[in-house]
Amino acid sequence: MSHDHAHHEDGFIKKYLWSTDHKIIGFQYLFTGMALALLGGFFAYAFRMQLGFPGKAVPGYGVVSPNEYNALVTNHGTIMIFWVAMPVLIAAFGNFLIPLMIGCDDMVFPRLNRLSYQIFLLSALVLLASFFVPGGAFGGAWTSYPPLSAKGQYNLTPAGSSLWLVAVALEFVAFLMGGINFVTTVMNSRAPGMKWADIPVVIWMIVLASIIFMASVGPLVAGAVMLLFDQQLGTGFFDPNRGGDPILWQHLFWFFGHPEVYVVLLPAVGIVIDVIAVFSRKKVFAYKTVLYTAFATGILSFFVWAHHQFVAGIDPRMANVFTVTTVLISVPIAEMMFVTIATLYGGSITLSTPMLWALAFVAEFLIGGVTGIFLGSSGSDIYFHDTYFVLAHFHYTFVPIAIIGTFAGITFWFPKMFGKMMDEKLGKAHFWATIIPFNFIFIPLFITGSAGDHRRIYDYTKFPDLARPELQNLRMIATIATVAMLAAQVIFLYNFAKSLMSGKKADKNPWRANTLEWTAPSPPPHGNFAVLPSVYRGPYEYSVPGRKSDYWPQDEPPEGKADAREEAAE
Amino acid sequence: MKPIATTRSVTGIPTGRLAVWWVIASEIVIFGGLLASYVMHRLGHPEFGDYAANTNTWIGAFNTLVLLSSSLSAVLAHQAATRGEGKQAAKLLAFTMLGGLTFAGVKSVEWTIEISHGYVLSTNAFWSFYYTAAGLHALHVIAGVVLMGIVAVDAAKGKELQRVELVGNYWHFVDIVWIFLFPLLYIAK
C-alpha cells in the first residue's frame, strides 16, 4: 500500500506549515532548533565579550548592562537546553527517524504530532516575547531558584520571569505529547519481524529519553504552576516567611533537571553508536548490554538529583547517599563509552565527517564525564560549587551532546533528509574549526573555576583577588575561542545551504548502512516506502563472514526465501 | 485517512489504549509531585490540621459520591460500546458527564462559600495547596466532560466506538486522583 498523493498538489502552507507528515514536522523542529541555537550562540557571544573585555561595547550588541548580562546568561542556558538540545536531538531526529527506522509510514498520531510542534513554536515565541516586556527577560538563571525568581521586587523582571515559566511549561507540554507519540509508535507500529533487539540503538535511546522525560517532568510542571502562583497570585509555596520552602523548588527542579541530562544524552549516544557502527563496518559491540546499561542509567538518573544541592543545607547523610548514586551512574555511562571504543577496535574505519563528529563526541564527553566525579563527590563539590569548574564540566557534557552529537546526526542523515550529499571538505573544515576552539573555551575555564571564579559575576575587575592578569588572560582566551567557534558555524550554514541547492544527488544508501531508512528513497516521499518493509535481522550485521558485501540490510530476505518485493535498486 | 502506523498493533494492545495509559502515567507524576510537596509540608506543619478543619467535609463527601458513581455509567457505556451499541453508549456517557458537571457545580458553590469566609488562594500555604490541587483536579474533570462530549457525539453515529473505553479509563484516573485529594485535603485534620 503506498500513499500516493500525486493527484492533488498541496500548497506551501499545507505542505510545510500545517503538515502531519512526520518528516516535515521533524524539519520544523530541526530548523526552529537551529534558529534558536544561533540566538543562544549570539547571547553567549555577548556575555563572553563582557567577561573577556569588561565594560567595552560589544560589536553588534553594544554595552552589556548588569541586568542584560543576567538575562543573557539565563536565556542562553534555557534556550540551549529546552529549545535546542531537546527539539533537535529528540523531536527532530525522533520525528524524522522513528517511522523510517522501524519501517512504517508515519507516527501513530500525526495530528497530535503537528499539535506538539505548534505548542513548541508557541513556547518559543513566548520566550522571545519576554525580551520585549517592561523589565526585560528573566535573569534568575535557568534553574529559576526562589525566592529570587518568586518575587518581582527581587528579580526586577516581574513580567519576564512569568513569561519564562509559561514558555518552559508549554515546552514541557509539547514534549509530553511528542513523547507519548514516539513511545506508542515504537511499541505498536514496527515492521513485521522487527523484535525488540532489532530496533536500532538510536531509536531505543529516543524512546528511553521520552519515557525518562515523561516520568521526571511531572513534579516540575506542578512546581511551575506553584511558582507562577507565587509570582502572580500571592501564594507562598516557596516563601519561607509564609510557611513555604524554597528548597522544595530545588527538589522539584532537579528531580526533573538531572534526568533531563540523560534525556538529551541518550539520543546523542544513540546517534554516535549508529554512526560508529556504519563507519567501522562492524557490528555494535554488546548491543544488548548497551540497552541494559541505558535502562540502568534511566533508573539511576532518578536518584542523583540532590547532588546539585550539596551546599543548599541538605542533611549531610543525604549528601552521602547522593554522592554514592552519582558516582555509581558513571558506571553505565562509562560502559557505553567503552562500547563505542570496542566497536571501533579492529573495524575498517572511514574518517568521514559524521564519523569525526562521533569520535569527537567520545573524546570530549569523556572529559565532561571525568570532571563530573569531582562535582558528584560532596566533599570536593563544596569547593567547586557554582564556580566556572562546574560550568566547564557541564559544557563538556552538553556541547558534545547538543552540538557534536547533533552534527554527527545531521551530517549522517542529511542525504536521507534532503536527497543531497553534503560537501566533505567543508564538513571537515567545519569540524576542526568547531572542535579546536571548543576546547580553548572550556579548558581555561576549568582553570579559572579552580582558582575561584564564581559563575554569576558580571565584572571581575571589581574583585581584586580574581582580577589578576593571569586569570583575565584565560577569560580572554575563552572569549576569543567563543568567537572563533561561533564564526566556524558559518561554514556549516554555507555547506548546508550549498549542499541543499547544488549538492551531489544522494542515492538510497550512500553509506551502505543496514537500517530501514536507507531502503526508502532519498528523500523519502509521503508514506516513506513504496512497499512497507519486513525485517529479518538486527540492525548491525556488518562484515558478516561468508557474505560478499560487507553489509546486510535488515529488510533483505534470507537466501532462498521468496521475496515479493522489488529488489532495491542500488 | 489514518496512516498504516496507526492500524498496527505489535504489542497486541490497541494503539489508543496504549497512548491513554502513557497519558495517565505522565499525569500521575504531575499530581504525584504536587501531592508529595503537600505531604512534605503537611508533615512539617502541624498547624495545617487546624486550617483543614475549615474545609467542608460533607460537601467533599457528596462530591466524592457523585464522582465515583459517575464512573459506573462510564463502565456501562464501555460495555455498550463493545456490544456495538453506539447510541446506548452515548446516552450512558451523558450520565457520566452529568456527574462531572454536578461535581464542578458543587465545587464552585463550595469555593464561593470558602472565599466568602476569607479563605483564599493566598491565605496561607494550606489554602494555596488546597486550591491548587483541587483546582488542577477540577480542570481535569472539565477536560473529561468535554472529551466525553466529543466521544459521545461520534459514538451516537456509531463511529470510533473504541474511544468510549479510552475516555472511561481517563475518567477513572480522574476519580482516583480525587480519592487521594479528598482524605488529604478534607479528612486529615
Interface predicted TM-score of the whole assembly (ipTM), two decimals: 0.94
**Is the confidence at residue A564, as pLDDT, over 50?**
no
C-beta atoms of A109 and B33 within 8 A? no
Q: Assess if residue A541 is contained within a domain.
A: no
Total domain count for chain A?
A: 1
Q: Tell me how far apart the alpha carbons of residues A402 and A41 are, in angstroms, rounded to a whole number.
A: 12
Q: Assess if residue B9 is contained within a domain.
A: no
Which of B9, B25, B33 minimises the CB distance to A222?
B33
Residues B21 and B28 sit within 8 Å (Cβ to Cβ): no
Q: How far is A169 from chain B (nearest CA, A)?
A: 12
Residues B15 and A186 sit within 8 Å (Cβ to Cβ): no
CATH (domain of A306)? 1.20.210.10
Predicted pLDDT at B148 = 97
Q: Assess if residue B57 is contained within a domain.
A: yes
A423-429 long-range contacts, CB within 8 A, separation 24+: A423/A495, A423/A498, A423/A499, A423/A503, A424/A352, A424/A353, A426/A491, A426/A494, A426/A495, A426/A498, A427/A353, A427/A495, A428/A353, A428/A356, A429/A491
Contacts of A142 (CB under 8 A, 6+ apart): A74, A77, A78, A81
C-beta atoms of A189 and B5 within 8 A? yes
CATH (domain of B89)? 1.20.120.80
Q: Which among A391, A365, A378 is positioned nearest to A327, based on CA atoms?
A: A378
Q: How far is A236 from chain B (nearest CA, A)?
A: 6
Predicted pLDDT at A511 = 97
Q: How far is A259 from chain B (nearest CA, A)?
A: 14
B43 interfaces chain A, CB cutoff of 8 Å: no
Take residue A62 and report the three cell numbers written for it.
Answer: 553594544
Residues A110 and A202 sit within 8 Å (Cβ to Cβ): no
Using one digit for the tens of pLDDT, what is the confidence trace for A36-81?
999 999 999 999 999 999 999 999 999 999 999 999 999 999 999 9
Nearest CA in chain B to A175: B26
- Cβ-Cβ contacts under 8 Å, B28 against chain A: 218
Nearest CA in chain B to A100: B5
**Is the confidence at residue A145, as pLDDT, over 60?**
yes
Q: Assess if residue B2 is contained within a domain.
A: no
Range of the domain at B146: 14-187
Which of B5, B34, B124 minimises the CB distance to A185?
B5
Cis peptide bond upstream of A316, omega within 30: no
**Is the confidence at residue A1, as pLDDT, over 80?**
no
**Is the confidence at residue A570, as pLDDT, over 60?**
no
Q: Which among A295, A222, A74 is positioned nearest to B30, based on CA atoms?
A: A222
- Cβ-Cβ contacts under 8 Å, A252 against chain B: 33, 37
C-beta atoms of B3 and A248 within 8 A? no
Q: Assess if residue A559 is contained within a domain.
A: no
Please indicate whether residue A73 or residue A243 has the higher confidence score (pLDDT): A73
What's the rounded mean pLDDT across residues A214-242? Answer: 94
B9 interfaces chain A, CB cutoff of 8 Å: yes
- DSSP letters of A251-277? HHHHHHHHHHHHHHHHHHHHHHHHHHH
Q: Assess if residue B3 is contained within a domain.
A: no
Range of the domain at A161: 25-519
**Is the confidence at residue A290, as pLDDT, over 90?**
yes
Residues A112 and A137 sit within 8 Å (Cβ to Cβ): no
Q: Assess if residue A245 is contained within a domain.
A: yes
C-beta atoms of A108 and B37 within 8 A? no
Please indicate whether residue A547 or residue A11 has the higher confidence score (pLDDT): A547
The residues pairing with A542 across neighbouring beta strands, listed in sequence order, are: A551
Q: Tell me how far apart the alpha carbons of residues A478 and A54 are, in angstroms, rounded to a whole number.
A: 14
Predicted pLDDT at A5 = 45
- Cβ-Cβ contacts under 8 Å, B13 against chain A: 187-188
Q: Tell me how far apart the alpha carbons of residues A534 and A460 are, in angstroms, rounded to a whole number.
A: 62
Predicted pLDDT at B1 = 72
Predicted pLDDT at B188 = 84
A187 interfaces chain B, CB cutoff of 8 Å: yes
A532 interfaces chain B, CB cutoff of 8 Å: yes
- Cβ-Cβ contacts under 8 Å, B33 against chain A: 218-223, 252, 255
Question: Mean pLDDT for chain A?
Answer: 94
B116 interfaces chain A, CB cutoff of 8 Å: no
**Is the confidence at residue A168, as pLDDT, over 60?**
yes
CA angle A56, A58, A61 (to 5 degrees): 135
| Reported confidence tier of residue A16, pLDDT bands at 50, 70, 90 | confident
List, for chain B, all residue ranges whose pLDDT scores fall below the cut of 70: none
Q: Assess if residue A10 is contained within a domain.
A: no
Q: Is A420 helix (H, G, I), strand (E, B) or coil?
A: strand
C-beta atoms of B41 and A245 within 8 A? yes
Q: Assess if residue B1 is contained within a domain.
A: no
Predicted pLDDT at A565 = 47
B29 interfaces chain A, CB cutoff of 8 Å: yes
A302 interfaces chain B, CB cutoff of 8 Å: no
C-beta atoms of A236 and B23 within 8 A? no
C-beta atoms of A105 and B33 within 8 A? no
Q: Assess if residue B115 is contained within a domain.
A: yes
- Distance linking the first and last C-alpha atoms of chain B: 55
Residue of B10, B24, B115, B130 for testing the chain A interface, max A β-carbons within 10 Å: B10
Nearest CA in chain B to A3: B3
Using one digit for the tens of pLDDT, what is the confidence trace for A79-95?
999 999 999 999 999 99
What's the rounded mean pLDDT across residues A294-298? Answer: 96
Take residue A434 and report the three cell numbers written for it.
Answer: 568547531
| Reported confidence tier of residue A561, pLDDT bands at 50, 70, 90 | low
Total domain count for chain B?
A: 1
C-beta atoms of A236 and B122 within 8 A? yes
Residue % of chain A over a pLDDT of 70? 96
**Is the confidence at residue A6, as pLDDT, over 80?**
no
Nearest CA in chain B to A529: B4
Give this prediction's pTM: 0.94
A221 interfaces chain B, CB cutoff of 8 Å: yes
Nearest CA in chain A to B45: A243
Q: Assess if residue B32 is contained within a domain.
A: yes
Q: Assess if residue A105 is contained within a domain.
A: yes
Residue % of chain A over a pLDDT of 90? 92
Q: Residue with C-alpha cell 557534557?
A: A397
Q: Assess if residue B167 is contained within a domain.
A: yes
Predicted pLDDT at A567 = 46
Amino acid, single-letter form, for residue A78: T
What's the rounded mean pLDDT across residues A309-321? Answer: 90
Using one digit for the tens of pLDDT, what is the confidence trace for A181-219?
999 999 999 999 999 999 999 999 999 999 999 999 999
Predicted pLDDT at A7 = 46
- DSSP letters of A516-541? GGGGS-SS--TTS-SS-----S-TT-
φ/ψ of residue A58, rounded to 5 = -85, 125
A217 interfaces chain B, CB cutoff of 8 Å: yes
B150 interfaces chain A, CB cutoff of 8 Å: no
A250 interfaces chain B, CB cutoff of 8 Å: no
